Amino acid sequence: MEVINAIGRRKSAVARVYVTEGTGKITINKKDIETFFPSAILRYVVKQPLQLLDAEGKYDIKVNIFGGGFTGQSQALRLAIARALVKINAEDKKALKDAGFLTRDSRAVERKKPGQPKARARFQFSKR
């Protein structure tokens, strides 16, 4: 198997994934997943597509990720891994889609409007 690449985005985070056959090692920005995502919840989010397909020990995953915070980065990485797994085996698409791992979450921060303190908050109105 050659190198399969895919991209995932969430909020302002972008994750580029390169998947090869291997032992299940996940390297993010030249760091191990345990050092990059110290939280067990974030590591769980990243590994969800692999756990769904029982492919945790089958592939080595190398990731370049930038932008956003740790939650957005972990969810962008989950999308990228799911897309790469579909490229490897198209029959897995239905299971991943039903679990919601192939849907790009388009929610992002609303922009701040002029003359207001935040996107929707208004300055206090004074009649007099």
Q: What would the mean pLDDT of 8-14 be, rounded to a whole number?
A: 95
In this model, does residue 1 exceed pLDDT 80? no
Cα torsion 19, 25, 28, 31 to 10°: value is -150
Q: What would the mean pLDDT of 63-85 be, rounded to a whole number?
A: 95
| CATH entry 3.30.230.10 includes domain 4-99 | yes
Please return the burial class of 101, using the count of CB atoms within 10 Å of its CB with bins 0-12, 13-18 and 19+.
Answer: buried
Domain positions in the chain are 4-99
Residues linked to residue 4 through DSSP beta bridges, in sequence order: 19
In this model, does residue 45 exceed pLDDT 80? yes
Q: What would the mean pLDDT of 78-94 be, rounded to a whole number?
A: 94
pLDDT of 18 reads 96
Q: Across all residues in the chain, what is the average pLDDT?
A: 94
